[in-house]
Structure formats: C-alpha cells, structure tokens
Chains A and B, each alone.
Chain A
Amino acid sequence: MEEMAYYPGCTLKTNAKEFEESLLRVFKKLGIRLKELNKWYCCGTVYSLATDNLMYRLAAIRNLIKVMEEGYDKVVVPCSICYNTLKQANLMARNDKEAMEKINSFMDEEPDYDGSVEVLHPLELLREKIDKLKGKLNGKYACYYGCLLLRPKEVAIDEYEMPTIMEKIVEALGGSVVNFPLKNECCGSYNVVSNKEAVIDRVYRIIMNARKNEAEAILTSCPLCHFNLKEMQNEIKKIHADFVDMPIYYFSQIIEEALE
C-alpha cells in the first residue's frame, strides 16, 4: 500500500475526530496509508502577518523539518487552517532567504530547512483519484471552501474565486451539488472568540444562501468553519425563530458513506 506522511494538527485529535477517522478510512480504501508523523507540534493556527514576527512561524517550519527527517518529501494536511499555515510558511522558506537564514540560525537542534517538502491537501489527492470515486451518494450538497484552502492565491488548491474540486468529488460519487455563491466567503473565523455576533451573522447568511439553493447539507474541510457553522445555529434560532437546522459534515464523512 502506498504510504504518505500525514500531519493531523491538534483539532483532528479533539473536536474534529470524526474528520480524522473518516479521512484515514477513505484513503485506506483508495490504497493510500496516511502515516501520522511520529512527532509533530501545533502549527500555530494563524499565520503571522508581521514582517518582523518570525517566532510565530517557527512551529510550522519545525513540523516541515520533521517531515523531512522522517524521510518524506510530501505531507498531507487535512485541516484547512493547518494547511494554510504550513503552506505559507513553506513558501516563505522557498522565497525569503533572509528570513530563513534567521530561522535556521535560531533553531539549534534541527537541520536547516529550505522549503523542499511539498504541502498537500487531501482534496488535491482525491482529485487525482477521481476515477476511483464511485458510489451511491444521495442528497444535495453545498460545498463550502471558506478562505484558507483558496487564499492567498499562492496556496490555493483550486481556482481561487470559483473552486469546483469538492463539487467534482461529490458528483463522481453520485451526489448532487447546488449553486453556492458564498462558498468561498469567510465564516467569521476567530471572531467567535471576541465578536460572536459577527460570526452568527455570517453563518446565517452562508447557511441561508445554501438553503435557498436547496442544499440538504454543507460540506467543509475546516474545523473552525465546522464549529462556527454548526454551533452558531442554536444562536441563530434565538434571533430567527423559524430557522431550521442545516447539517454540517466534513467532506470525508460523505465520501466514506458513499464508498460503503
């Protein structure tokens, strides 16, 4: 069986266990063993945007070094936020020699890193295996990409304004997809920590957009989108009494169900 290095990130071990479990089973069925890195750290969640804050990028670089040390040249990263952070850090490693000189000389025990590892999202691998994705999937799905699989455009796994990668997978499995203009609009992200009302507002708009297009469920690959889309629904009901729940799934849950 083909084997690939796999970086789970913290949330796939806690709030998003169903994401990890379904994803590993789906890949096993497709003949790929996702082998968890023997050692990994939290990626730092959000990519630091300040020119002088290299410290917040260290964790991401250290994880990429672990991939290299364990003998792999690629790593599969399912969580959209981890994917974005590792991918952006990797681009910095490839393009910003000055920053990497500082990081490499700061890190004592690790070997130097130059961006040689390739960071992949599982949806990119599934796109390559699409002829193997046959199933009897029922239902109409709204595929929600959010921000971090697509932007900045240098890290995009698909066309960054109008992605179709998830739709193609759902259709290959026999499911239907709906038009979903808000599929790449932000759910409010970490505003849930400081400004929950803004997130409630965002989530309401996104779910109603899916519903008006007759979606029966929304698919995502981001544990924070998943949390916001799912958990804000109870808050929405306090404002809009007629609101009806919308199921939220990780894309891998749907694929697993279809392949069975």
Chain B
Amino acid sequence: MNLLEKVEELSGQNLYACYQCGRCSAGCPMVEQMDLLPNQVILLVIRGDQSVVEAKTPWICAECYQCFTRCPKEVDIAKIMEALRLIKLRKNIDYIKLGELKNLPQIALVAGARKYTG
C-alpha cells in the first residue's frame, strides 16, 4: 500500500477532491507554527512524497476543524493529519514522553496521550 492509499484508508478522505484553493491554510490558527501548509500536506501525500511523514504540521494540528468547516470540497483535513500521525504512532514512535510532563491538568494529559502516543 502506498502513502496515498494508506492515508486515504486511515482518514476515509478522498485527497483528490482537493484543488489547492488554500482556504484551509488561510483559516488555520496554528499555521504560523507549521513547516508545511495544510494544503501542501495534501499535495505531498498525493505525490507520494515520504518527507511529509516527518513534517511537523500533523503534530501541530490542534484538531479544531476550522479547515474542514470551510473547505469547499468538504475534505476533512483533521482526519488526514490524524492519519499521518498514526503512520508514526502505529510503529511505536511516540511524539512525546508522558513521564516528563509536569503541571498539566488531566484534560491536557489524556488528550496529549491520545494524540501523541501509540
């Protein structure tokens, strides 16, 4: 299974529906922290560019659904970001070390554990 097929299966999204209009990136509140714009992530997955799996962007996505809400093609980009995270997490490559976290409420810890560890 190639990268595009993997992402489509995990996310349930048709990435070819995206025509790169950029509304997702225009509305994304986290975009300044990202190394790739959300629409660029889709482009790289379609191209089969493996570097997207190592990108920061999927880990910065806060799952706020602003992109999905505004996408004219109703591509649920939050699900694509989740798929890219899972490609790492399901190989047991965690993004954070839970044991090192301090002074955080459980609501942040449980959310972090679910999004950043396998």
Contacts and interface: CB of A to CB of B under 8 A. Distances in A.
Interface of A: 10-11, 14-15, 42, 44-46, 48-52, 56, 79, 81, 146-147, 151-153, 160-161, 185-186, 188-195, 197-198, 201-202, 223-224, 227
21 contacts: A10-B106, A11-B105, A14-B106, A42-B110, A44-B114, A46-B110, A49-B11, A49-B76, A51-B12, A51-B79, A52-B10, A186-B29, A191-B62, A192-B104, A193-B101, A193-B104, A193-B111, A194-B95, A194-B112, A202-B29, A227-B107
B contact face: mostly helix, strand, loop, or mixed: helix
Interface of B: 9-12, 29-30, 32-33, 59-60, 62-66, 68-69, 76, 78-79, 82-83, 86, 95-96, 101, 104-112, 114-116
A15 B32 contact: no
B114 A186 contact: no
Nearest to A189: B62
Contacts of B11: 49-51
B108 A193 contact: yes
A186 B96 contact: no
B105 A189 contact: no
Contacts of A223: 105, 107
A190 B33 CA distance: 14
A51 B112 CA distance: 20
- By CB atoms of chain A within 10 A, which of B33, B62, B68, B116 has the most? B62
Given A189-B63, A192-B104, A193-B116, A50 B111 contact: no
Contact of B65 (A44, A81, A151, A191): A151
Contacts of B29: 185-186, 188, 202
Given A189-B111, A193-B104, 10 more contacts: A15-B105, A48-B82, A147-B65, A151-B66, A188-B30, A189-B62, A189-B64, A190-B62, A194-B95, A202-B30
Given A10-B106, A81-B107, A223-B105, A191 B60 contact: yes
